[in-house]
Amino acid sequence: MLKTESPPPQGPALDQCPTPQLLAWLVDDQQQALAAVQAARPQLLAAVEAALPRLRRGGRLVYVGAGTSGRLGVLDGVELTPTFSWPRERALGLMAGGPAAMFEAQEGAEDDADAGRRELQALGLTPDDVVIALAASGGTPYVLGAVAAAREAGALSLGLANNAGTPLLAQADIGILLDTGPELIAGSTRLKAGTAQKIALNTLSSALMVGLHRVHGCWMVDMRASNAKLRRRAQALAERVGRATPEAAQAALQACDGELKPALLMLRAGLDASAARAPLQRCEGHLRLALSMSGLQDDETVPSGKT
């Protein structure tokens, strides 16, 4: 049996233990998820280094999975737009069973390898696209069909699985093993296998966004202030990073339609909105480089009090 399908050695009788002990076991078991991702850092590094040049040329991120893995992939892709202003059309999510599977399990759909292949082919993949394929078992036919289509198109395929020696790890261009071992509830990969996938996806996509200059220091400078919370956050960042008064920060954000990067360049370099966009365009949105091109140096690295 796969590790994720097997009970832990001398597994406790969860249904017979007191609730405090049950909670302790469930929480403590999650620690293995972080350890699994830490062990996979070399593969995650290889994935980032292989994906970045493709994304810089205009490639897309395509997440593929079934069940819990598929939902985690869709979630990671959806969050890239509000967090980093990543274009929605460049973060696509495919789930076995279609969009309805996000809310209601479509258990049989994951067994259809041809569907995975067809649905990925329908996207018109190019060699610059990056396919992130997720399957805790490492052998989900739908996901393997999608990986086959990715390889046929010359796209980069990254395979994340929680069981060693499985087809997904072998067939993807870069296999990323998240070895979380047996689940406390045998076969329930929504537990620490899912946690490890979430950590790995957070790590992978965040590193890619940093590499694409969508973060400055540790600030989300590529977000768009589209609601009250984000407007407050943008205002605070414009004051802090732009070294501006509240009134000046607000005026710059309004002139730049809520976009932080040009607003920050306006504030720091004394430019108008149109002039602030020009250096950003020349250096592919790299705010630190744009500041340097404007004759400014920036020492903004981490919030005060942090090291």
Q: What is the pLDDT of residues 230-256, one digit of tens each?
A: 889 999 999 999 999 999 999 999 999
Reported as a pLDDT band with limits 50, 70 and 90, residue 307 is very low
C-alpha span between 82 and 287 (Å, rounded): 19
> Is 79 a catalytic site residue?
yes
pTM of the model: 0.91
| pLDDT of 106 above 80 | no
> Is 89 a catalytic site residue?
no
Domains parsed from the chain with CATH numbers: 18-211 (3.40.50.10490), 228-293 (1.10.8.1080)
C-alpha span between 295 and 219 (Å, rounded): 21
Query: Which residue, chain included where needed, has tokens 């504030």?
Result: 267
C-alpha span between 77 and 99 (Å, rounded): 14
Percent of the chain with pLDDT over 70: 96
| pLDDT of 100 above 80 | yes
Which residue in the list 5, 79, 152, 284 is annotated as catalytic?
Answer: 79
Reported as a pLDDT band with limits 50, 70 and 90, residue 302 is very low
Contacts of 10 (CB under 8 A, 6+ apart): none
Which residue in the list 110, 119, 183, 300 is annotated as catalytic?
Answer: 110
